Structure 1
């Protein structure tokens, strides 16, 4: 290979590593940065592809500093692919089983598929994002749940919690899109329920996204020792610092507890081949998780998350 060919390959390697370095640097610095970094952080594992190509180009170009650069980036990416958060089990006795389903029905379009999934899986609590008035009415008539708490709205702003357990409504977490909250009486144990649906980190709305995730973090931090389930479409993955701060407030991801923390939920049309997990069921340390499944629902771009949980009493 001539000098011009090696120079071109070195240029390609530098370009690939420079782009990945910005995103990986923000991940290492525990910040989400500015557009386009938050959007790229969601797909952090896929940076292995351009970084690997950059390493290959550096090797062919015999550009040894670039090869070292790319190798360091690959090592950091491999490190960050590891699950985030502790996965220890509660020490107290099991007092109740709770099956939770979290689904974004995309402007209500996935409502028929959700009704079928609810009838088949029989979750105890259902968190529904983007549930418009027609969605709410259809679920009320066909899902068979005696208790509900909703923030009515059109398009993406409506949300709903359905429960087989008695509910007492709470103020919920304020946000651009509806995020209702409630306290459920789970066989004599008060469990805080909160639906999560912060603004997505689209350009121009990253600040709002951060603020609404911070509000969810504050909700989690106020829980003390009260059992808590925080579930829904977080528009964030474990590679976002703003989401990790929600976990650091005392919650664990059910998918993490069952070793499914990298299973994609969005966009459903390309998952699991290409996607990211932005739909989550988060629980306080009074819960353990036995199983997490991801359900394909026709009519929506999100996969639903179905988590089988166990509530534990004091140890």
Structure 2
């Protein structure tokens, strides 16, 4: 029996204060997955902000930095489903910062000095153990580059270049005969003289080309890739490429540095090569800074640009670039048209 005069009681309508994902099990699971995704995205983007390439898996993930927008967006949706407001704010911040760093790195133009000395075309191609040699030769005949850089030029590649590419077309050559991925080659219409190589497991030859009376330092780049657990080799060899660029800048040399760098503009080491040598990425200069070059022969959407032609900004202007499919290799070739300036 109710007590006479007592105030009536009503069922409470207040909901308990809930943390991220608390309540329904699916909402809790969504919040947990969102947190895991955000930790990964934030770690990689944090290294990008700090100018560090980190340790595995950061160097590998940095190569595909723009693709981190996808897990960031998924994390945002999961945080919203899990009613995790902090997670939603975290995801929005991660997306904003990732989006900011998808912008191209480096200046949009070069400022060469002097008058126009020559127009030339450069081609770089990784033939993947020489398997793409036939199509490379076809590409060279069609595109008619003045200078050709070839990475992973195995014995079969070196022999084919010797036998099937006329000396009349490319009378000057620097070919390093090694098997597998270690071989490399530079073919040139312009006179070459020897220059120091960069020590590496896969050959990185160099030469000095005389173009319209001006010395131009040519250097092939092919450092080891940042394989999990072997980043030290990648750092060491790409660091030597950076040291070369810095030395060339100190000497005031005109430079064409081309090849398979196994690095993108989102790697701090690659950016240090540009900065140390006052070099510019030709693809960036011609509006193709995010055009992929690898992998070329797979169906995965995860693709990136690791093949580059870098030039000294006071000597060159890049007028056009194009990434070309070469059958038989997992890399696309890069063709660049350059204008050389000088006194």
| TM-score normalised to structure 2 length | 0.89
Q: Structure 1 residues 275, 153: CA separation in 2 closer, same or farther (over 3 Å shift)?
A: same
Aligned to 1:193: 218
Tell me by how many angstroms 1:61 deviates.
Answer: 1.6
- Please state whether the residue corresponding to 1:108 is helix, strand or coil: coil
Question: Any conservation in 2 of the 1:263–1:276 contact (CA below 8 Å)?
Answer: yes
Question: Any conservation in 2 of the 1:231–1:281 contact (CA below 8 Å)?
Answer: yes
Question: Do structure 1's residue 175 and structure 2's residue 200 form an aligned pair?
Answer: yes
Aligned to 1:234: 261
| TM-score normalised to structure 1 length | 0.97
Q: Structure 1 residues 44, 271: CA separation in 2 closer, same or farther (over 3 Å shift)?
A: farther
Tell me by how many angstroms 1:309 deviates.
Answer: 0.7
Tell me by how many angstroms 1:87 deviates.
Answer: 2.2
CA distance in 2, matches of 1:5, 1:300: 45
Tell me by how many angstroms 1:44 deviates.
Answer: 0.9
- Aligned pair partner of 2:319 in 284, 290, 301: 290
Which has the greater radius of gyration? 2
- Residues 95-118 of structure 1: per-residue CA shift (max 9 Å, x gap): 111100000000000000000000
Alignment of 1:240-251 (within 5 A): 240-249=267-276, 250-251=278-279
Aligned to 1:131: 153
- Residues 250-295 of structure 1: per-residue CA shift (max 9 Å, x gap): 1110000011011111110237943110000011111111111001
CA distance in 1, matches of 2:248, 2:175: 21
- Please state whether the residue corresponding to 1:162 is helix, strand or coil: strand
Aligned to 1:88: 109
Tell me by how many angstroms 1:8 deviates.
Answer: 1.4
Question: Any conservation in 2 of the 1:96–1:186 contact (CA below 8 Å)?
Answer: yes
Query: What number of residue pairs does the alignment pair up?
Result: 314
CA distance in 2, matches of 1:212, 1:178: 11
CA distance in 2, matches of 1:32, 1:191: 31
Aligned to 2:305: 277
For structure 2, which runs of at least 5 residues remain unmatched after alignment?
1-20
CA distance in 2, matches of 1:265, 1:311: 25
CA distance in 2, matches of 1:116, 1:123: 12
Question: Do structure 1's residue 223 and structure 2's residue 248 form an aligned pair?
Answer: yes
Question: Any conservation in 2 of the 1:147–1:164 contact (CA below 8 Å)?
Answer: yes
RMSD: 1.4
- Residues 154-177 of structure 1: per-residue CA shift (max 9 Å, x gap): 100010000000000112111111
Q: Structure 1 residues 142, 272: CA separation in 2 closer, same or farther (over 3 Å shift)?
A: farther
Question: Any conservation in 1 of the 2:110–2:280 contact (CA below 8 Å)?
Answer: no
Question: Do structure 1's residue 118 and structure 2's residue 140 form an aligned pair?
Answer: yes
Question: Any conservation in 2 of the 1:265–1:271 contact (CA below 8 Å)?
Answer: no
Question: Do structure 1's residue 43 and structure 2's residue 64 form an aligned pair?
Answer: yes
